[in-house]
Amino acid sequence: MLSSAQTQVLRLLCDTIVPSLPHPGDTDGFWARSATDVGADQGVLAMLATMPDEQQAAIGGLLDILALQGFGTASPESREQILTTLSLASAPAAAGIGSLTSVILLITYGAVGPDGRNPNWTRLGYPGPVAAAPADGPAITPVRPDGGDLELDADVVVVGSGAGGGLIAGRLAAAGRRVVVLEAGRYRTEADFHQLELAAYQNSYWRGGPQPTGDLNVTLMAGAGLGGGTVINWTNCLKTKDWVRRQWADEHGLTDVATDAFDRHLDRVWRELSVTDQCSELNRVHEAMHRGAEALGWSFATIYRNWDEKRHDAAIAGHLGFGDPSGAKRSTLKVYLEPAVAEHGARVVDGCRAERVLVEQGRAAGVVGRWSSEDGAGTATVTVRAPVVVVAAGALETPGVLLRSGIGGPAAGDYLRLHPCTVTMGDYGTDMQAWWGAPQAGLVNEFANVEDGYGFLMESVQYTTGLGASALPFTTAAEHKQAMADYRNNGSFIGLIRDRGHGRVTLDPAGNTVAWYSLTDDLDVRNMRRAVEAEIRLHHAAGARGIRVLGRGMPGWRFGDDLEAYIDRARRLPLRAGGATLFSAHQMGSCRMGADPATSVADPRGELHDTEGVWIGDASAFPTPSGTNPMITIMALASRTAANIEEVAR
């Protein structure tokens, strides 16, 4: 809890970041509206209340320092100066001010009032939710402890129900195995999807939305809930590239992955997910991408999506990263988990975080987890006894389960790959309506393999107001507000590299995972710089009149400026905290498969080297990154792992 003096400083901080500014012709009050006018201070306080005590204390301490610097009585200009001076004085202060600034911007432009709208959206030209969520009830009923601890018996317990875990649970249940799924997130259905950004982060994202790595270098995004990332991801379906399959076969011992056998897994997943290219209308951002690629002679491809053509509505598809209320999305929840429960007797426990794998006589014996009710009032221990354990908690959490259990060997948590990406915005001088249509409908794959099997893909992103505002580098309040006033004219391209270098997942003293990642591998640095350059050239060729690479201290380019000088400057942006803004929505490899127990956790079939009966079922199992958006590869690999588990059981 903040003191009233600290709360007062917080309010001033909010209105220093987003102040009320006089502006001619401010008909909708955008310029006059400050952060506290939309309740950003209340939002930050609510967010703080959910944080651990020591983080709250650190933020309180930062507010005390601001007070000591005279923040409370300073003029608005002096307050901005105090923030700049303090940020330059110490790295922790810079990190603290940076985080608070991001949260204030996220809430100011993302939060909604009782009418379900944010008043700033009028200036942004954002219509907000386009359809009421349907009233349909849930298709299945999760098992939930009822006043006491829960003990279950099964043939297989699956930890995590995303792209990998959801598929494996479905396949094994359909094959007649008694399956229990433990999922840390909650079961959400179409009725829960109100097309609101902040609610979606809270309800369906890992740790409540975008989170930095421990070293602050990369912002991580992942799904959490029954169906995992497949419930909120952007439905971009790409098959595994041949050169990646050969690398996994030749260097990591997954020999069948380079053969027709793996094609059969890919094709089956493709079919089951109803993947189609018939629902990928190009919005104006994708039209710009297409135009730019044509002008430069670069390849452009329409994206295939796991989507039910009969339920398709392009206006709703633009919000699918907040959960899809139309029911068109073919997530693992729809395709595998709901049928597993409804037709094959599988049991799912949502809100249950697996803490550790039970190991007896050196082999799997089950899983112990901690369940909590959604309001936090009820808690229980859940014990599932089973001879087969599939760990599929996502590459950020699977290593946590193994490390807490003391299994997996020296590679557990190592070799974390992120497909880190930079973002470049193009200002086209006209309303881009980037909120319309599938967030990823086309891509430039010209540079997928520029050096040794490594390269980058160029794609677009889902339109967001909150994350978009917080990702726009903050220089001065007036500049940021101007950038938001022009936000509607912008479209973003990302350059997502297949990373050769890697990070690591470790445990903090409380047993929670922390991801670490430095982009320092020389090939990765080269490819990221190539990607930044390509993003700029693509916008320029498409006719953007302004270009802005997202990064601290990086100015924008305006029509008439020297483009080559801008590219040169952008290529020199440091690729770490305080430099280029780096995002990752693709975490992989942190409990990888391979032949060598010193450098891999699981054998080439997916079973742990050191613990019989424990299998890795998610993106953690990738020996190296896929280089393509990973969902289809994760699922094809999970399909293969499910078959391997069945084979052992026979």
Strand order in the sheet with 379-385: 150-153, 379-385, 363-372, 352-360
Whole-number Å distance between alpha carbons of 390 and 620: 12
CB of 263 vs ligand FAD, minimal distance in Å: 18
Contact by Cβ (8 Å): 575, 503: no
Enumerate the β-bridge partners of residue 493. Answer: 424
Smaller CB distance to ligand FAD: residue 348 or 477?
Answer: 348
Smaller CB distance to ligand FAD: residue 60 or 413?
Answer: 413
Which residues in this chain contact ligand FAD in the complex, by CB under 6 A?
159-165, 182-185, 221-225, 228-230, 232-236, 321, 353-354, 392-395, 397, 401, 440, 585-586, 618-619, 629-631, 634
At residue 41, what are phi and psi to the nearest 5 degrees? -60, -40
CB of 505 vs ligand FAD, minimal distance in Å: 12
Helix runs in 90-227, H state only:
91-110, 121-124, 163-174, 197-204
CB of 492 vs ligand FAD, minimal distance in Å: 14
CA 174 from centroid of its chain's CA atoms = 30
CB of 370 vs ligand FAD, minimal distance in Å: 9
Helix (H, G, I), strand (E, B) or coil at 386: coil
Q: What is the 3-state secondary structure (H, E, C) of 240-259?
A: CCHHHHHHHHHHHCCHHHHC
Contact by Cβ (8 Å): 641, 615: yes
Smaller CB distance to ligand FAD: residue 82 or 391?
Answer: 391
246 Cβ contact list (under 8 Å, min separation 6): 258
Smaller CB distance to ligand FAD: residue 300 or 566?
Answer: 300
Whole-number Å distance between alpha carbons of 484 and 465: 9
- Angle subtended at Cα 176 by Cα 171 and Cα 179, rounded to the nearest 5 degrees: 70
Contact by Cβ (8 Å): 372, 351: yes
Residue 237's nearest CA partner among 650, 642, 635 is 635
CB of 288 vs ligand FAD, minimal distance in Å: 19
Whole-number Å distance between alpha carbons of 507 and 509: 7
Contact by Cβ (8 Å): 291, 538: no
CB of 235 vs ligand FAD, minimal distance in Å: 5
66: its two tokens: 């601001």
Smaller CB distance to ligand FAD: residue 101 or 230?
Answer: 230
Which residue's CB comes closest to ligand FAD?
162
CB of 419 vs ligand FAD, minimal distance in Å: 9
Q: Give, for 615, the enclosing helix (H) or strand (E).
A: strand 614-616
CB of 279 vs ligand FAD, minimal distance in Å: 13
Q: Name the residue with tokens 């793996």.
A: 262
- Sort 597 into a burial class: Cβ within 10 Å, 0-12 / 13-18 / 19+: middle
Smaller CB distance to ligand FAD: residue 184 or 567?
Answer: 184
Smaller CB distance to ligand FAD: residue 188 or 290?
Answer: 188
CB of 587 vs ligand FAD, minimal distance in Å: 7
CB of 287 vs ligand FAD, minimal distance in Å: 19
